[in-house]
């Protein structure tokens, strides 16, 4: 045993500008870390910078709480900003060691510590046991999954820790030291870890691992009941592959139905695989409240799906989308724009698929090569980058900008830009209109016109500002507020969105 133990850990979620539109969401990874440490007798507190805390407020929190270890979670998105935050905290609090976990360190490993000298420890992939051993004072070179600096200052990695096979044993997060009331109504659930597929653009294998491990239906139900008793009714399942084991999903549905809980609603907003849900399964899921589902379609033809190594066919995607729409499930499709070997014609196939069924939305993402992925290596080895990774990874809204980060001979930069603009503007709008019209005819059409006005700053100005004379300002403002309120109610009650 080394002598250094840690008894008070402050866990920090940095701010990411390209946040979820619906506002900040609870960071489940930190929730698990905190819960596990508490179980081991370590006191924890959390600061989520997404809730609007400034640097000074963070320092104030550190001064009040007086942790002996500070932990950051970190994605590769905006990593320079996070390095700067870590460095600034270190400057103010030189004596407190800093440990960093999450996607960035799990993927870049020693490089992250080399790039940011203020990081004392890195934790690779699942962090519960690794940080617990660090806090208990285990010898640093004996802690699997830990990156550290030795006495000579050299960066050492002790090698991967074995996966936690039985993830039922890890206590689910009760978020007891999070400001839980500041997050939305929808509560996040993680019912499995890992994904065995190898889609070339996905970082899951380096972030949490390829080995899929699932929680038992009983274990999941206990978590749902815990939150139900605390007033939660809407849950967002964050798994990478929720429906991989069909039987497990049926059992989860059975348990939900047999429980006394009513009014539950579940969303699968991270995307599930279309080839992993039959019509019967979707029907069963819908019967217990799975009302929102998204599919990672990614492309509109088999050629591109093949290049992405998605191991899925367009007919799987079509069938699942059609089934889910017919069952009155709200469906969202995700597409990538600019995949390897894609051309303008292929993008049009995506657009056709996106508009074929009455889905609630189809989102087109600028494909981003993340370090550690096959896509990244392919772009790099072909010299296709238009921007350096350290630049684009630090853009503000990298998935949503109309600026490609690489080009290929068959799809040059200017065509990519055009395709991004077209899909981001025209296509996504048309799909939204289709949804409203399909479901509510004239009312849908009217609602869509309202949305067009409110979402367009020129039209909005024209209707709500230009037409006014100063004397009526407060009146118009009042009218606008009332209209927006009424429309929100209609959206909720009529369109259930
Ligand atoms: C849920 C989710 C979201 C949610 C919530 C994000 C959040 N802040 O919690 C939403 C929808 C908001 C989201 C948004 C984005 N996401 Co996201 N998201 C996920 C997803 C599917 C699951 C994350 C999760 O909760 N895992 C479950 C917990 C248990 O695991 P974990 O968080 O990894 O934590 C464990 C370890 O990493 C480690 N650990 C983590 N932090 C720490 C800290 C310390 C101190 C220690 C010791 C250990 C430790 O221990 C934890 C427990 O074992 C992952 C995919 C994945 N499988 O990781 C993508 C993922 C993390 N997201 C990703 C991205 C790119 C984004 C966006 C940038 C996308 C966008 N649309 O712009 C935004 C970022 C904006 C933001 N504000 O967060 C990428 C990150 C890639 C990378 N290398 O950085 C991932 C990996 C998806 C992918 N397929 O590539 N995301
Ligand atoms: S994109 Fe989805 S299916 Fe493919 S590897 Fe990632 S998590 Fe698995």
Q: In this predicted model, what pLDDT tens digit does every residue of 186-196 receive, in sequence order?
A: 999 999 999 99
Has residue 451 got a pLDDT over 80? Answer: no
Residues contacting residue 39 through CB under 8 Å, at least 6 positions apart: 171
Mean pLDDT of 85-107: 97
Q: Which of 103, 190, 202 to mutate to test the pocket of ligand 2 (most atoms within 8 A of CB)?
A: 202
pLDDT of residue 263: 97
Taking the C-alpha atoms of residue 149 and residue 135, their distance in angstroms, rounded to an integer, is 16
C-alpha–C-alpha distance, residues 87 and 391, integer Å: 19
Of the listed ranges 42-56, 171-185, 474-488, the one predicted with least confidence: 474-488
Instruction: For ligand 1, atom 22, name the residue with the nearest CA.
Output: 238
Q: Would you place residue 487 in the very low, low, confident or very high pLDDT band (cuts 50, 70, 90)?
A: confident
Structure tokens at 331: 């469906």
> Please, are residues 112 and 104 in contact by the beta-carbon 8 Å criterion?
yes
Query: In order of start, what are the domains of the chain with their CATH numbers?
Result: 8-157 (3.40.50.2300), 185-444 (3.20.20.70), 456-493 (no CATH)
Does 423 sit in the ligand 1 pocket, CB within 6 Å? no
To the question of pTM greater than 0.75 for the whole model, the response is: yes
Pocket of ligand 1 contains residue 101 by CB under 6 Å: yes
Note the pLDDT of residue 466: 52
The closest alpha carbon to 349, from 303, 307, 311, belongs to: 303
The tokens describing 259, both together, are 């429980």
pLDDT of residue 134: 98
Q: How many CA atoms lie within 13 A of 29 on its CB side?
A: 23
Q: How far is the CA of 27 from the centre of ligand 1 (A)?
A: 8
Assign 398 a pLDDT band (cuts: 50, 70, 90).
Answer: confident
Distance (Å, rounded) from C-alpha 361 to C-alpha 238?
19
Give me ligand 1 centre to Cα 443, in Å: 39
């Amino acid at each position: 045993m080394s002598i250094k133990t840690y008894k008070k850990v402050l866990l920090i979620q940095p701010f990411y500008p390209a946040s979820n539109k619906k506002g900040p969401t609870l960071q489940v990874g930190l929730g698990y870390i905190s819960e596990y440490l508490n179980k081991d007798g370590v006191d924890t507190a959390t600061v989520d910078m997404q809730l609007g805390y400034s640097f000074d407020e963070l320092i104030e929190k550190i001064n009040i709480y007086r942790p002996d270890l500070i932990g950051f979670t970190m994605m590769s998105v905006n990593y320079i900003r996070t390095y700067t935050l870590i460095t600034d905290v270190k400057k103010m609090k030189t004596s407190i060691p800093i440990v960093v976990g999450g996607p960035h360190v799990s993927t870049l490993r020693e490089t992250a510590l080399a790039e940011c000298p203020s990081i004392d420890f890195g934790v690779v992939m699942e962090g519960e046991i690794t940080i617990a051993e660090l806090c208990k004072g285990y010898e640093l070179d004996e802690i699997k999954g830990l990156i550290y600096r030795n006495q000579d200052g050299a960066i050492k990695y002790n090698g991967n820790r074995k996966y936690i096979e039985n993830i039922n044993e890890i206590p689910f997060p009760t978020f007891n030291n999070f400001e839980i009331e500041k997050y939305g109504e929808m509560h996040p659930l993680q019912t499995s870890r890992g994904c065995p597929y190898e889609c070339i653009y996905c970082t899951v294998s380096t972030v949490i691992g390829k080995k899929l491990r699932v929680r038992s239906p009983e274990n999941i139900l206990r978590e749902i009941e815990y939150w139900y008793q605390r007033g939660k009714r809407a849950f967002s399942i964050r798994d990478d592959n929720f429906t991989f084991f069909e039987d497990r999903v049926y059992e989860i549905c059975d348990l939900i139905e047999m429980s006394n809980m009513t009014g539950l609603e579940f969303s699968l907003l991270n995307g599930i695989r279309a080839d992993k849900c039959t019509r019967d399964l979707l029907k069963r899921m819908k019967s217990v409240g799975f009302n929102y589902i998204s599919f990672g379609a990614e492309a509109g033809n088999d050629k591109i799906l093949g290049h992405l190594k998605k191991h899925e066919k367009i007919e799987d995607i079509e069938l699942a989308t059609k089934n889910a729409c017919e069952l009155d499930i709200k469906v969202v499709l995700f597409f990538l724009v600019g995949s390897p070997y894609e051309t303008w014609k292929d993008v049009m196939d995506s657009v056709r698929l996106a508009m074929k069924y009455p889905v609630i939305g189809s989102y087109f993402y600028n494909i981003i090569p993340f370090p550690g992925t096959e896509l990244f290596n392919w772009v790099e080895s072909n010299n296709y980058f238009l921007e350096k990774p350290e630049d684009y990874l630090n853009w503000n809204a990298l998935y949503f900008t109309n600026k490609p980060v690489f080009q290929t001979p068959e799809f040059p930069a200017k065509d990519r830009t055009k395709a991004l603009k077209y899909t981001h503007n025209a296509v996504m709008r048309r799909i939204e209109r289709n949804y409203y019209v399909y479901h509510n005819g004239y009312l849908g059409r009217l609602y869509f016109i309202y949305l067009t006005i409110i979402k367009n700053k020129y039209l909005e100005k024209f209707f709500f500002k230009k037409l006014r004379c100063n004397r009526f300002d407060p009146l118009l403002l009042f009218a606008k507020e009332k209209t927006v309120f009424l429309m929100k109610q209609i959206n909720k009650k009529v369109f259930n969105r």
